[in-house]
Amino acid sequence: MIDYLPLKRVNAPYEQEMTAAMQRVVTSGWYLFGHEVEAFEHEWAAYCGLTDGQGGAVACANGLDALRMVLRAWVEMGRLQEGDQVIVPANTYIASILAVSDAGLVPVPVEPDPVTYLIDPTRIEDAITARTRVILPVHLYGQMCDMQSIMEIATRHGLLVLEDCAQCHGVTDRYMGDAQAWSFYPGKNLGALGDAGAVTSADAELLTVVRQLGFYGSVRKYVHRYKGLNSRMDEVQAAVLRIKLPHLAQCNERRRAIAARYCAQVQHPLYTMPQARAQHVWHIFPLITEHRDALQQWLLSQDIRTLTHYPIPPHRQEAYREWSHLSFPITERIAACELSIPCHPAMTDAEVDTIIAALQAFRG
Ligand SMILES: Cc1ncc(COP(=O)(O)O)c(C=O)c1O
């Protein structure tokens, strides 16, 4: 059986080092706010092109918290007010949108470009109103949104830009938005052994408020300026991420090589293969076909497991029943037709061969 993402295999090259690091954390007796988290924050900030004196990173509990805390920080800082609108992609994982609602802001979904599946900058301007304050692009599936165009629109309209980077680790070392929210969920390109997240930004004031929000809203112990939350990365997760980080670029290269083989060697009239229009780290390899369910069954019969990202778009979820009258045809087509083909750094060439042969053999 070829699994979609066998995490045991993905983490196998680091197992010994991780076990030793965990042992170190256990015997140190220091499990939160320690050396590992502090070091990871520096290393991740540097990886994202932020050096000391130019902002940095704040570690937190997960990617949803990273998004929530940036938006809540901007509210606390007076840059946003309750009821302000945030432009979000209609085609995304729901966490991007939940964070907006959580901060008392109003998400405004915008259709993706039908080729990249990423928020379409040409449609963003049509969605801007007098209450729009933020654009929240999601670098979905591992591909950078058209940030040049998005930043131009943001500058023209005086909007903040929060990048949802949950799926794009290492796609570039220069991020253009005002802040980036990261998830290190185990299946991500840089994944922990549990939940973990981070905020990066060049804005030191924002990072200070995010850090305070994540520690019960306190400016120092027992002095609470904000109605904060508890959101911290633990020492074990930071130690694990520090072990994997030096290998991220190489892992992304492997993903690129696999994706390149799929794109070059799968030619089938029933499929639309993804196109890398910008930098891509192939967190997900999304194939589009009107025969999605039959293809998924066929691949399973060939011992190949696949997933769909995401079968029900946010505007069709009960949580957003207020959007049930809205129609986003491009998003709906992706939800109905997307199939995620295995694409991870631990795949062997033989597995890629098997998947290519099975994709080619599908008869609809
Ligand atoms: C695009 C996107 N945004 C946000 C999140 C939330 O991250 P987490 O699961 O760490 O809360 C995820 C992942 O799960 C995601 O894929």
Q: Is 271 helix (H, G, I), strand (E, B) or coil?
A: coil
For the beta carbon of residue 3, count every other beta carbon within 10 angstroms.
16
Looking at residue 40, what is its pLDDT? 98
Q: For residues 276 and 189, give the distance between their C-alpha atoms in angstroms, rounded to a whole number.
A: 17
Q: Is 36 helix (H, G, I), strand (E, B) or coil?
A: helix
Amino acid at 19: T
145's torsion region: left (phi>0), alpha (psi -120 to 50) or beta? beta
Q: CB of 145 within 8 A of CB of 162? A: no
Please name every residue paired with 143 in a beta bridge, in sequence order, or none if there are none: 280
Looking at residue 148, what is its pLDDT? 97
Ligand 1 neighbourhood includes 40 CB (under 6 angstroms): no
Residue 271, exposed/middle/buried by CB under 10 A (0-12, 13-18, 19+)? buried
In DSSP notation, 141-169 reads: GGB---HHHHHHHHHHHT-EEEEE-TT-T
Looking at residue 48, what is its pLDDT? 96
Ligand 1 neighbourhood includes 95 CB (under 6 angstroms): yes
Dist. CA 162 → ligand 1 center (Å): 14
- Those residues of the chain that have pLDDT short of 70 are none
Confidence (pTM) = 0.98
Ligand 1 neighbourhood includes 314 CB (under 6 angstroms): no
Dist. CA 168 → ligand 1 center (Å): 11
Helix 235-244 / helix 15-28 crossing angle, nearest 10 deg: 150
Ligand 1 neighbourhood includes 93 CB (under 6 angstroms): yes
Ligand 1 neighbourhood includes 138 CB (under 6 angstroms): yes
Looking at residue 364, what is its pLDDT? 84
**Shortest CA distance to 124 belongs to which of 155, 98, 94?**
155
Ligand 1 neighbourhood includes 266 CB (under 6 angstroms): no
Atom number, ligand 1, closest to the C-alpha of residue 164: 3
Question: Phi/psi at 206 (nearest 5 deg)?
Answer: -60, -45
Dist. CA 167 → ligand 1 center (Å): 8
| Alpha-carbon separation of residue 360 from 266, 319, 357 (angstroms) | 6, 39, 5
Structural domains in the chain plus CATH codes: 7-245 (3.40.640.10), 246-361 (3.90.1150.10)
Ligand 1 neighbourhood includes 231 CB (under 6 angstroms): no
Dist. CA 183 → ligand 1 center (Å): 6
Dist. CA 154 → ligand 1 center (Å): 24
Pocket test for ligand 1, best of 5, 65, 92, 93 (most atoms within 8 A of CB): 93
Looking at residue 173, what is its pLDDT? 85
Atom number, ligand 1, closest to the C-alpha of residue 185: 10
Dist. CA 314 → ligand 1 center (Å): 14
Amino acid at 158: G
In sequence order, what E strands does the chain have? 56-60, 85-89, 106-110, 132-135, 160-164, 179-183, 197-201, 218-220, 223-224, 285-288, 338-341
